[in-house]
Amino acid sequence: MIKGKKILLGVTGSIAAYKSIYLVRLLVKAGAEVKVIVTPAAKDFVSTLTLSTLSRNPVMVDLFDEESWSNHVMLGRWADVMIIAPLSCNTLAKMATGQCDNLLLATYLSATCPVVVAPAMDEDMWNHPATKENLRKLESFGNNIIPVEKGDLASGLYGEGRMAEPEQILAYISSNFFLTRPLAGKKAVITAGPTYEPIDPVRFIGNNSSGKMGIAIAKELEQRGAEVTLIIGPTQIDISENGISLVKVKTADEMYTAVTDRFAESDITIMAAAVADYTPVAPAPEKIKKQAEHLTVELVRTKDILKSLGEKKSKGQILVGFALETTNEKQYAMDKLQKKNADMIVLNSLNDTGAGFGYDTNKITIFEKGGQEFNFATKSKKAVAKDIIDTIIRLYYA
């Protein structure tokens, strides 16, 4: 993991610099050796005394003073990873154009280690074409960008531009650089897709779930080393992934049995399926012929799989549920977390464009058992799967 790794943290002039204090604490707590460089502007936002005390190393600011010269080349070679968090618009522009008027920039230009940046700015600055262009340049240099999140901004406005939370930065670093297959030897069960509840031999009650999100999560779990079983309801998507055991089910009841049978052995269980909440009490054995003007089909509640797993869960097992809401999203998601004894709920809001059934993108908020809430930007389902698995790995190894 991160223990013993050498992390060089660059802090630039942004209100979000207060979060870098907590990031240093998390990194040191995780056993990393941390050195901090601040830009001159960052000193107006955060105390170097706090950063040096927490990092247990002197904070570096200047390329040189009257007596010494900071060896930026060796600093960049010393680090296993360089993180710039927060990354201000100004430093971003300088990095994109190769300017070198402070120690942080000189170290960035000479760094041979991977560089990760976590931008922080107001939404309008974030959306400016110059910012987008500069980020594209950084990406083309091979730098890694942790996208901004949506939330309250320093301007008092609400929107995109918040720096990712320190926990997410730590999870990103751990899973991208220090843990190639962190889930090796772990078993994971994931459900995906809809369920079809038969009314008669040719008709059913179903929903629009495509299964894409669950499939993306299954692939991500497999890439991180887990032994994955994907239990999937009826879907049009072709799933022929090597290394993933596939169990095809139709009804909520079949899904219940398939998951329950594997739960005791499973280290990580993720209920991403859109399971029907009701099923016909007595499906007709033959096709129902049309007769009367009205037809009533009596429905009964299906077994709540997530809830029953939450009741059986033992220490060390991670249980993740999904929530898809149209109103009062946060409250409903928090309620589910508690009622179902889950470790984490992934909320999709149908109010967000690009999120939900059928799209190739998704926008999620993660609610953790400890009460933390993490908002993510709209991303491809593959990138969302990465965020979900990063969070699960952090919880699993906490």
> CA of 30: how far to CAs of 27, 71, 268, 370, 391, in Å?
5, 27, 22, 19, 15
Rounded Cα distance, 365 and 375, in Å: 4
Applying CB under 6 A, does 252 fall inside the site for ligand CTP? yes
Residue among 55 and 365 whose Cβ is closer to ligand CTP: 365
Q: Which of 82, 323, 333, 388 binds ligand CTP (CB under 6 A)?
A: 323
Please report how close the Cβ of residue 140 comes to ligand CTP at its closest, in angstroms: 39
CB 222 within 8 A of CB 243: yes
> CA of 195: how far to CAs of 30, 179, 324, 366, in Å?
42, 35, 16, 24
Q: Which of 75, 271, 319, 389 binds ligand CTP (CB under 6 A)?
A: 271
Residue among 305 and 364 whose Cβ is closer to ligand CTP: 305
Whether 127 is catalytic: no
Place of tokens 């928090």: 334
Q: Which of 9, 244, 306, 384 binds ligand CTP (CB under 6 A)?
A: 306
Applying CB under 6 A, does 322 fall inside the site for ligand CTP? yes
Rounded Cα distance, 127 and 129, in Å: 6
Catalytic residue among 57, 207, 341, 375: 207
Applying CB under 6 A, does 304 fall inside the site for ligand CTP? yes
Residues 6+ apart with CB under 8 A from 221: 183, 188, 190, 228, 268, 389
Q: Phi/psi at 31 (nearest 5 deg)?
A: 95, 10
Which strands make up the sheet holding 373-375, listed edge to edge? 244-248, 227-232, 187-192, 268-271, 318-325, 344-349, 364-368, 373-375
Applying CB under 6 A, does 277 fall inside the site for ligand CTP? yes
Site stretch for ligand CTP (CB under 6 A), options 150-158, 174-182, 214-222, 267-275: 267-275
Applying CB under 6 A, does 254 fall inside the site for ligand CTP? no
Please report how close the Cβ of residue 321 comes to ligand CTP at its closest, in angstroms: 4
Residues 324-353 that bind ligand CTP (CB under 6 A): 332, 336
Question: What amino acid positions are annotated as catalytic residues?
Answer: 207
Q: Which residues sit at the interface with ligand CTP, rule CB under 6 A?
A: 252, 271, 273, 275, 277, 302, 304-306, 321-323, 332, 336
